[in-house]
Amino acid sequence: MRRIRTVLAGAAILALSLPVAAGAGVRLNGVDFGAYPQVGATVVTSTASTRAPNMFENGRRVVGLQAVNLGRCKNVVLALDSSRSMAGKPLAAAAAAATAFVASKPACDRIALVTFGRHASQQGAFSSATIDADNALRTLAIGANSGTALWDAVDLSARLLASQPGGRVLVLLTDGNDVGSRASEDDALSSLHHAGAVVYPVAFGSKADASGLKRLASQTGGSFHGAAAGGALTAIYSSIARELRRTWRVRYLTTARPGDKLDLKASVGRLGADHRSVAVPDPNGEAAAGSKPSPILPSPLYGKLGDLFFTLLAAMLILAAGILFASTLQGSWLKRRLAPHIDSTRRKSKRRVGRERLEVLNGLFRATENTFGHRPQWRNLQLLLQRADLPLRTVEFTWLLIGCSFGLALLTALAGRSSLAILAMFLVGGFVPYLAVWFKAKRRMRAFEDQLPDLLITMAASLKAGHSFKQGIQSVVDEGQEPAAKELRRVLTDTQLGRPMEEALQATAERIGSKNFSFVITAVNIQRQVGGSLAGLFDMVADTVRDRQQFARKIRSLTAMGRASAYVLVGLPFFIAVAVTLLNPTYMDPLYHSHAGHMLVVLGLMMMAFGSLILKKIVSFKG
């Protein structure tokens, strides 16, 4: 009896395990090269699996694989044909099947509805609440005009999905060929590749464009379905929902060149594996092995000879960088050897100051100065640093700008942003430090101009007391009001080194950038040539400078409303664009992801720049 029970128990276990074993399997549903060198694929398992699949390319495991489980939270666009040919029972059957699909979705799935007849339009934003999609499906109506904008609907759906994070799926139903679309089939496929979306097209009836829909499915990793009658739609949508629960979307970067043969393998634990041999298509649409991607380089460079050439080139660049680094270390090594014999206090310091830490870059700095030091832009940058009173050399600040630009661009690239965003962050990274220095220099120049009348009065009082002009400058320095004290101290230092007083004062006026101080220096030089009372001249110039400053402040107060209006008019479009994008991203989507939208953005920026110049001309006054 015990033996019979054991046999029956084993038979029961075997019977329970057979369906699982028979149903176990992995299917590599499609391979997508639309975003080459990024390769996309869809992996469908026989049962839902929480374990991400592994991908192998030519026997080697793929590095940097990105896998998204479409059985969990994802973004789904239901695109339904609402042309005149769908009037009556077909549209009702399509709405009922879509409603059942929405009712069976995971709770965290976000669904949006797109309808297309003569034009494609979105019926509400993405939402995880089923009531939003149900209301949109319940109010479906046939388009007033004839036409089936199939590719416009696919393009719109792809752009909507591209703005959403996570998995992206498009379920498309149509009963006819494309009629009246502005976008072509290739444009729609390009948008799908950019979004990384998987398409499940459903051809309803015998007049649907089955070849185009099959191309959508094969090139995005989805599956094509055909329905001869409305009663089959609910079963098709249910099968799509079940397949999505067992689907993974994987993407990775390949090192294969166009024309290369790839043996791809997808495996998911004990469920098994699937193989597929594909060829990387070239930009011209050919997949023949040995095709040359670019006519710029000769053909031998795309073979073994090219690998050897670029390897040697990389080795030479690394060697050159090592030689440059070694040459920069030579000077610091010599200083360290001589330091114990020439400076006893330096040995006690365990910390190196910031300037000494940059000694290893002296070779690079020297080469940069020798290359660009004679250019006027270099001198202007040096003058700006002097006006801002920053303890930085021009070459150090230049490399700081370069480092900020490349650093911010690299972070943007690692975040997976577009090329336009990377370029924008590159420009922002270099512009922000420069703008900060410019503001500091401007604030320091204004502080000097505010001190100028009091400075002239102090010098006039010193001259009336019988002191010389040089002693008058020393009296201002002794008062210690920055930045005037520091700049005039430099004038005294230059004169002590043998530089004429006129040249030292003129260099100071150029370095500060103050027009009022330049006016003072001109008056002093004229007085030195024709003679007269310098103290009386300083009193007169102090009154003139004070009157000029009061007049400039009055002009600024009178034009304050105009400047505020200019700021509001320039900043308002950017504020509205950001606010609307945050509140309703799909409303602004055509502006960011269409050619017409890009042209409107460029035109708007050009008009705003032109208007800003006009407003600046109106409110500015040069006296």
* CA 608 – CA 606 distance, rounded (Å): 5
Q: Could you report the per-residue pLDDT of 459-503, keeping only the tens digit for each?
A: 778 777 777 777 777 777 777 677 777 777 887 887 888 888 777
172 bridge partner residues:
79, 201
Q: Indicate the pairing of strand 26-35 with strand 38-45.
A: antiparallel
Q: Which two tokens stand for residue 496?
A: 């002590």
pLDDT at residue 563 in the model? 80
Which range has the worst mean pLDDT, 188-197, 298-307, 554-563? 298-307
pTM: 0.51
pLDDT at residue 200 in the model? 92
pLDDT at residue 22 in the model? 36
- As its CATH architecture, domain 72-245 has 3-Layer(aba) Sandwich (3.40)
**Does residue 16 have a pLDDT over 60?**
no
Q: Could you report the per-residue pLDDT of 60-96, keeping only the tens digit for each?
A: 888 888 888 888 888 999 998 888 888 888 888 888 8
Per-residue pLDDT band for 8 (boundaries 50, 70, 90) equals: very low
pLDDT at residue 477 in the model? 77
- Please, are residues 506 and 431 in contact by the beta-carbon 8 Å criterion? no
**Does residue 13 have a pLDDT over 60?**
no
Q: Do the domains spanning 24-69+246-280 and 440-546 agree at the CATH topology level?
A: no
Sign of CA dihedral 455, 460, 466, 467: positive
User: Percent of the chain beyond pLDDT 90?
Assistant: 2
Tell me which of 296 and 255 has the higher pLDDT: 255
Picking from 280, 263, 287, the residue whose alpha carbon sits closest to that of residue 57 is: 263
- Please, are residues 501 and 468 in contact by the beta-carbon 8 Å criterion? no
Pick the CATH number of 440-546 from 1.10.10, 1.10.1740, 2.60.40, 1.20.81: 1.20.81
CATH of domain 24-69+246-280: 2.60.40.10
* CA 214 – CA 225 distance, rounded (Å): 9
- CA distances, 78 to each of 95, 125, 212, 593 (Å): 10, 12, 18, 20
Q: Could you report the per-residue pLDDT of 90-149, keeping only the tens digit for each?
A: 888 888 888 888 888 888 888 999 998 888 888 888 888 888 888 888 888 887 777 888
| HEC assignment per residue over 188-214 | HHHHHHHHCCEEEEEEECCCCCHHHHH
pLDDT at residue 170 in the model? 92
Per-residue pLDDT band for 327 (boundaries 50, 70, 90) equals: low
Picking from 400, 336, 390, 411, the residue whose alpha carbon sits closest to that of residue 368 is: 400
Domain boundaries along the sequence of the chain: 24-69+246-280, 72-245, 325-433, 440-546, 560-619
